Structure 1
């Protein structure tokens, strides 16, 4: 660390371990060092600092983070996250304690992000107490969000521990200080041109009206469908968000993981597949670029399971892709997993908590051929298998295109494409059955599942050339499709549609979420 003209400081840490570091870097990254070395303290002109309560390893990792990662990101605007190399939760807690002591705010944010992304592996009570001690409110909010998900969508109906004088932090009381917020996000899409739009609508507003007939005069006043041009969007019931800042592309794939939304790959200008991945932070309304996929692709499959994102198949320019990749947001990296049994592009896809299902898809590029097999990937075993085959009479022959799929209760539902036909494969009986037809033909329609209902938005009718702005919902209990009263801001296909569950503070002025603690005492 020494060099000509560089003023160094010797830092004495726990167990008399020493390290030498440039004074300029110490004062840049830490309020504590700034006050100590430039303030009215005896260390002002000293060549050494005693920090005997801090382990040298922890301090070195923090200083290295600022020197190599944070500084480089700021200077070169690199897309990758800057990361502190934590060696588990205990190391992260020690690092947070030291960063708080030394006034290293950026490092504290890194620790906070780490705990949020690994929150499931910790004791929630201990983690809450730590977050409260260091005033890390984002961690406290995420604990409340997870607690709401476990208990209910609104007020958790869990017995309060405070009534029994329990000294452990009562997460029931903490979560009561938050109310749930369910939001639908619409990202991108295509209607004669690439759409960079990003908009949101409260879920209760989105499903406010349902219509059993085909009367589409209700809604937000947007055109129900168009065959020419790209109409101006109508945001009467929607909130505009920060536009997608990446390159203009179509056939990218979008998925939500916790409260973040990721858009992956796509077909950019000059018909080139891209590997770019962008993250949209729904809380901050900000886009940021993260590590790109290992293989450029478009018309691929995507799924969010656990703490990972998976992508497989698709096209890479003139080739069909059979690779599977997994993204871990903590490490901001993609890793290759077991390749598909058969590479396909533009397949219908769905997932549950442990499996990804790839339905049909094209295995040719210039000469289109459709496979009828349904491939299943188990995330625990990293193995592919053939679940069933889908020999729908819709195939004409081997040319079905633009199908969609979703898991609703115990059924894998295949819908959309060139006709209104819908079929369901029961996971338990392993049998196919035909279900109610959709009201419109919807190739490349967006879909989201909520409870036992399947929502299908937008899409394209290849017969008429129309792009749809309408939304249909399938009720699995009634075996019926209905029209949702709220249309899309504008007609589109290949759009990203994501449901995000979050929480926000719900306290009256001067009220504490732990009011029952005072009452119990």
Structure 2
């Protein structure tokens, strides 16, 4: 081999070894991860794209909607073919993973994968516990599914970790508090959990923080935080609490926690009360969908809301997921 070929071989080997310890979604699309080779195609910056799936209605929960913030347009991407509701979901590369939920009003521990490229749904190994109303978040290459309700409709403090490489589930340290209808966010390698109902239908006023390296939870007291069915969204050094209801009625003002000062502050009021909401962040903004099909955008830089185009499907509390930019080609034709 000539020196150039040796150098290229060394670089490719280094990339493959390095990728074993790094989430490939964080690496620029200069490397073709599907074919394990460097891409020779001209590189372009794909736009942000958001998916919505799930909710409370069994007739519409399998519909996958796709939203383009650049075009302010919603379209129907496809259907998973699953009659499951009240599940949690995660995007893992070009696959949509669905965890638990309810089928015909009964809890399930089943897990499914919907492939955006093939438009096919397949089964993955089931969770250990049958749960609905869970929250799911990804830290590195591992996925955590927390809380929810058991088969008796009681809140639980169960935490299960899924390893997509080995397709295995592992119980991790239980949350300090049982929760359902809670909010959860992954930020700088930790999980942050707040709000919801405990097993006695009381509303916990603590922020539980999980350190996966130590497999330990710690708790911080929240003075006035009594939210249910809402979203925790991290942006930079702030954690935003968006939407929800207090005592199932009445408007709650949206707020944010500054991790540096450890203080909560109210943000600007949304155009309408945000009940049964779902939200996802992109750049410094948050896209929020309301109980029906209303859509709003909050700009954290200027502390201002604006109304966007309504969704196609009228449903409450779907999962809102950011599609990694490198897989934009699988939804481009629908936008």
Matched residue, 1:428: 260
1:450-465 matched pairs, under 5 angstroms: 450-459=282-291
- Conservation of the 8 A alpha-carbon contact between 2:93 and 2:327: no
- Conservation of the 8 A alpha-carbon contact between 2:161 and 2:169: yes
| Residue-by-residue CA offset, 1:243-282 (whole Å, 9 max, x unaligned) | 1223x2321111112222111111221x321111111112
1:488 aligns with 2:311: yes
- Conservation of the 8 A alpha-carbon contact between 2:86 and 2:133: yes
Matched residue, 1:229: none
Whole-Å separation in 2 of the counterparts to 1:124 and 1:341: 46
Matched residue SS, 2:96: strand
Rg (Cα) greater in structure: 1
Whole-Å separation in 1 of the counterparts to 2:318 and 2:209: 24
Which among 241, 244, 256 is matched to residue 80 of structure 2?
Answer: 244
Matched residue, 2:274: 442
* Root-mean-square deviation (Å): 3.0
Shift of 1:482: 1.2
Matched residue SS, 1:296: coil
- 1:193 to 1:281, Cα distance in 2 relative to 1, 3 A: closer
| Residue-by-residue CA offset, 1:329-376 (whole Å, 9 max, x unaligned) | 111111111111112111111111301111122113xx5211110101
| Residue-by-residue CA offset, 1:210-238 (whole Å, 9 max, x unaligned) | xxxxxxxxxx7xxxxxxxxxxxxxxxx41
Whole-Å separation in 2 of the counterparts to 1:342 and 1:308: 22
Whole-Å separation in 2 of the counterparts to 1:144 and 1:252: 24
- 1:278 to 1:435, Cα distance in 2 relative to 1, 3 A: same
Task: Flag the structure with higher strand content.
Answer: 2
- Conservation of the 8 A alpha-carbon contact between 2:46 and 2:326: yes
Whole-Å separation in 2 of the counterparts to 1:328 and 1:505: 25
| Residue-by-residue CA offset, 1:365-390 (whole Å, 9 max, x unaligned) | xx521111010111222111113415
| Residue-by-residue CA offset, 1:77-97 (whole Å, 9 max, x unaligned) | xxxxxxxxxxxxxxxxxxxxx
Whole-Å separation in 2 of the counterparts to 1:401 and 1:471: 20
Whole-Å separation in 1 of the counterparts to 2:26 and 2:239: 29
Which among 186, 190, 196 is matched to residue 351 of structure 1?
Answer: 186
- 1:361 to 1:354, Cα distance in 2 relative to 1, 3 A: same
Task: Give the number of aligned pairs.
Answer: 305
Unaligned runs of 5+ in 1: 1-121, 131-141, 151-169, 207-219, 221-236, 460-467, 507-521
TM-score normalised per structure 2: 0.81
- 1:176 to 1:344, Cα distance in 2 relative to 1, 3 A: same
1:416 aligns with 2:243: yes
| Residue-by-residue CA offset, 1:125-163 (whole Å, 9 max, x unaligned) | 227799xxxxxxxxxxx979832499xxxxxxxxxxxxx
Which among 98, 107, 123 is matched to residue 289 of structure 1?
Answer: 123
- Conservation of the 8 A alpha-carbon contact between 1:276 and 1:291: yes
Which among 300, 320, 329 is matched to residue 476 of structure 1?
Answer: 300
Matched residue, 2:132: 298
Shift of 1:451: 1.0
Matched residue SS, 1:503: helix
Matched residue, 1:280: 114
Whole-Å separation in 2 of the counterparts to 1:180 and 1:303: 24
- 1:149 to 1:261, Cα distance in 2 relative to 1, 3 A: farther
Matched residue SS, 2:201: coil
- 1:433 to 1:315, Cα distance in 2 relative to 1, 3 A: same
